[in-house]
């Protein structure tokens, strides 16, 4: 777990576990839970965006209407993207995390 709060932070955790503002999930790295890591072969990918729709963690990065990779700070390695990428294309592979 990479997010252990420091002593100073601990004293300032908002009472009752309230999250006092929006968008904080982005700053909370959960990628450390991952066992398998996805990689994409862009020579096969058609940018159909099925993986982007199906990823439960919004971890598919899209820029200018193109699938360009994975947000590994939040990807849990579930492999849904690899299964959902159309069979004829199979652009995503899941591998043991090397990092």
Partner 1 sequence: MAITGTKGATGLTGNTAIAYAMKQINPDVAPVYPITPSTGIVEDFSSYVADGAVDTELITVESEHSAMSACIGACAAGARVMTATSSQGLALMWEMLYIASGMRLPIVLTDVNRALSAPINIHCDHSDSMGARDSGWIQIYSETVQEAYDNLFMAVRIAEHEHVLLPAMVCMDGFITSHAIENINLIGDDSVREFVGEYKPAHSLLDTGNPITYGAMTLPDTYITFKHQQSKAMAAAKDVAVEISAEFGRKFGRNYGLFDAYRLADAEAAIVILNSAAGTSKVAVDELRKQGKKVGLLRPRLFRPFPFEEITGALKHLKAVAVLDRVDSMNAFGGPLFNEVRSALYDLEKRPKVMSRIYGLGGRDYKVADAVGAFEEVLKAAATGRVETLQKYITL
Which residues of the chain form contacts with ligand SF4 (CB under 6 A)? 38, 40, 45-51, 55, 57, 59-60, 67, 70, 75-81, 85, 89, 91-92
Binding mask 22-61 vs partner 1 (x if CB under 8 A, - otherwise)? x---------------------------------------
Tokens (6 digits) for 25: 């999930």
Cα 9 versus chain centre, distance: 25
Phi-psi region of 65 (alpha: psi -120 to 50; beta: other; left: phi over 0): left
Candidate list 20, 63, 65, 98; residue touching partner 1; CB under 8 A: 20
**Phi, psi dihedrals of residue 93, rounded to the nearest 5°:** -120, 145
For residues 7 and 40, which CB has a smaller minimum distance to ligand SF4 in the complex? 40
Q: Which does 46 bind (CB under 5 to 8 A by kind): ligand SF4, partner 1, none?
A: ligand SF4
Rounded to whole angstroms, how far apart are CA atoms 37 and 32? 11
């Amino acid at each position: 777990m990479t997010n252990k709060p420091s002593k100073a932070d601990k004293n300032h955790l908002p009472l009752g576990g309230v999250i006092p503002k929006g968008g904080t999930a982005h700053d909370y790295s959960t990628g450390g839970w991952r066992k398998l890591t996805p990689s994409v072969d862009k020579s096969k990918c058609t940018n159909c965006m099925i993986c982007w729709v199906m990823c439960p963690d919004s971890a598919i990065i899209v820029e200018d209407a193109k699938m360009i990779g994975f947000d590994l700070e939040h990807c849990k390695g579930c492999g849904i993207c690899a299964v959902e990428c159309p069979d004829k294309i199979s652009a995503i592979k899941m591998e043991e995390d090397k990092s």
